[in-house]
Amino acid sequence: MPRLTAVPSAALLAFLISPTVVHAQRGLDSSVASLAAHDVNDVFLRVTNRGAYGLRLAETNPPGTFPIGSPNVYLFGAGLWIGGIGDVDANGVPDTITTIGYNPESNSENEWIEGVVGQSPNDPRFRVLDSTEPSDQELFPDATVAPQELFTVFDDRFSVGTISRPSIPLGVEVRQRSFAFTEPALDTAIVFQWDVLNISGAIRPTGYTIRDMWTGIVLDPDIGEPNDDTAAPLEVDGEPILLVWDSDFTESGFVGRPGFMALVPLDNPGSDVNMTAMTGTSRPGVQPVPQLDQTQYEALSGLRVPTFASPFFDLRALIGMGPVDLAEDQVVRAAMAWVWAEAVGEVPPTLVPSSPELTEEAPFLADLVAAVRAIRQAYDQRLAGLPALLDFPAGPEPPGPGDRSVVLQNYPNPFREETTVQYSIAEEGDVSLDVYDVLGQLVITLAVGNREPATYTVAWNGRSANGREIPSGIYVIRLTTPQGTSAVRALKIR
């Protein structure tokens, strides 16, 4: 991993969502549909519509360098994890499932997709909405309560894994709202609020209750040297937070004051908070980063014994809140804040999880503790009572002549025997509408030939080109035109 300097103020936040670097001033990586940034204060945190958070910058001073206007470069990976026990097997056997937005051991792994608020790339809601953008203000789902708010929707209906490590949808939709403040007491914090809806009826006809559901964040910080970051639980006024910092403040490369970051639970649908540290390499006493649903869930829910070891390894950390039973169509709320503060006064040259100085009374944590208290109070007074975001304004008409050529989401979806596909052609030319399986193999061609600008409809009976019924699973419907390609995912069920 790259050599990184220390943070002189505010927060260090960033993310990797694929093996390709995403630059602040360049186009989006192909695996990401939308990015937006909380950039109205000293914190510059990017948010995606697929449950990943943070920023990776390769240059030293592009727009969006954190802190704003500084020459420092930081790397920080994080993502939303939701795990639970759901009845999703064809044989009815309950499974333990965790849907993730970021896995530090697999940069390309992301099981969230854009939610139902956007049904085509032409829909302006098919991205993260920013309350400070005039083009988004008309679409924003509710009156704003902070100087900057971001809103997006994602779900796991079409979780796609690999043959060796398949992903199974838990059956949840997340309506995410995040808040940034400019007032001094709150300007180094970002609040995330998640309304989680059980959409298991879109996974199986009968639906089911998700039992023992946990909501949490996995994070992969690199502060200063990438192999000596550390984390530990800390209580502030009797409530737990997860503290993350660089253990060695004397190393070369630091250009400012040491700092601390905290993940602060604000709204817990359950009653417990679980925290643990993990590593990507074999290290006695430290949990490896979990790769399978069962081990991911065990780490998230605390079924694996929590570990906070001495540093000098490549740290990953996990914080989870729960548990709660979530019935079909029921919604619950979870919320967490990311808070950063500079150290106050002298800091021990080396600080590890077992250091006796590591308490909420530590003088060097005074600003961090004050910021935690301030954001808790602000959440209770301004944000906790916001209504659940379960409705959204009607979207624009499907694209027609004059817009770019696209394939629209098939309906119904999921489908059993037949589904309808619409595609819109903007410029006359030869087109092909094809269906592929998850291995990239052609299943059937639904339409081919010259088309004039118009919107077309074709029915698909869920069979391959040789007339055989295809198995249940995820398929990609792709439209190819001289102007490019457009694709949607379709789910075939029994």
* pLDDT score at 124: 53
Winning range, highest mean pLDDT, from 159-173, 233-247, 253-267: 233-247
Residues in the chain: 494
* pLDDT score at 16: 22
* pLDDT score at 40: 83
* pLDDT score at 42: 66
* Range name among 11-15, 44-48, 260-264 with the lowest pLDDT average: 11-15
Would you say residue 126 has pLDDT above 70? no
The angle formed by the CA atoms of residues 487, 99 and 43, to the nearest 5 degrees, is 90
Whether 493 contacts 414, CB under 8 Å: yes
Instruction: Give this prediction's pTM.
Output: 0.76
| pLDDT, tens digit (0-9, with 9 covering 90-100), for 142-198 | 788 999 999 998 988 876 665 556 678 899 999 999 999 999 889 889 999 999 999
All structural domains of the chain: 35-383 (2.70.98), 406-492 (2.60.40.4070)
| pLDDT, tens digit (0-9, with 9 covering 90-100), for 383-398 | 999 988 776 554 444 4
* pLDDT score at 188: 87
Whether 476 contacts 489, CB under 8 Å: yes
Using alpha carbons, list the distances in angstroms from residue 186 to 40, 55, 59, 337, 441.
12, 21, 28, 11, 51
Residue 15: both structure tokens together: 């993310």
What contacts 24+ positions apart, CB below 8 Å, involve 464-471?
A: 470/437, 470/443
| DSSP letter, residue 350 | B
From 47, 17, 28, 31, select the one nearest 153 (Cα to Cα): 47
Q: What is the mean pLDDT of the chain?
A: 79
Reported confidence tier of residue 361, pLDDT bands at 50, 70, 90: very high
* pLDDT score at 161: 61
Whether 442 contacts 431, CB under 8 Å: no
Q: Which residue in the block uniquely carries the two structure tokens 């077309």? A: 456
Mean pLDDT of 129-144: 84
From 336, 317, 361, 178, select the one nearest 264 (Cα to Cα): 336
Signed CA dihedral, 62, 67, 72, 78: sign only: negative
* pLDDT score at 385: 92
Q: Which helix (H) or strand (E) is 23 found in, with range?
A: none
Amino acid identity at 59: E
Whether 175 contacts 195, CB under 8 Å: yes
From 486, 473, 491, select the one nearest 415 (Cα to Cα): 491
| pLDDT, tens digit (0-9, with 9 covering 90-100), for 450-477 | 999 988 999 999 999 999 999 887 788 8
Q: Who's near 356: CB < 8 A, 6+ residues apart? A: none
Whether 242 contacts 353, CB under 8 Å: no
Whether 74 contacts 313, CB under 8 Å: no
Would you say residue 478 has pLDDT above 80? yes
| DSSP letter, residue 294 | H
Using alpha carbons, list the distances in angstroms from residue 16 to 56, 166, 233, 303, 363.
7, 21, 25, 27, 34
From 494, 492, 488, select the one nearest 474 (Cα to Cα): 492
Mean pLDDT of 6-13: 28
* Range name among 47-51, 252-256, 269-273, 448-452 with the lowest pLDDT average: 252-256
What percent of the chain shows pLDDT beyond 90? 38
Winning range, highest mean pLDDT, from 78-87, 257-266, 267-276, 422-431: 267-276
What contacts 24+ positions apart, CB below 8 Å, involve 342-346?
A: 342/8, 342/9, 342/256, 342/257, 342/258, 342/259, 342/367, 343/249, 343/257, 343/258, 343/259, 343/260, 343/367
Mean pLDDT of 290-313: 89
Would you say residue 24 has pLDDT above 50? no
Residue 241 three-state SS: strand
Residues 129, 137: Cα–Cα separation, whole Å: 8
Task: Report how far Cα 120 is from the mean position of its chain's Cα atoms.
Answer: 20
* pLDDT score at 3: 22
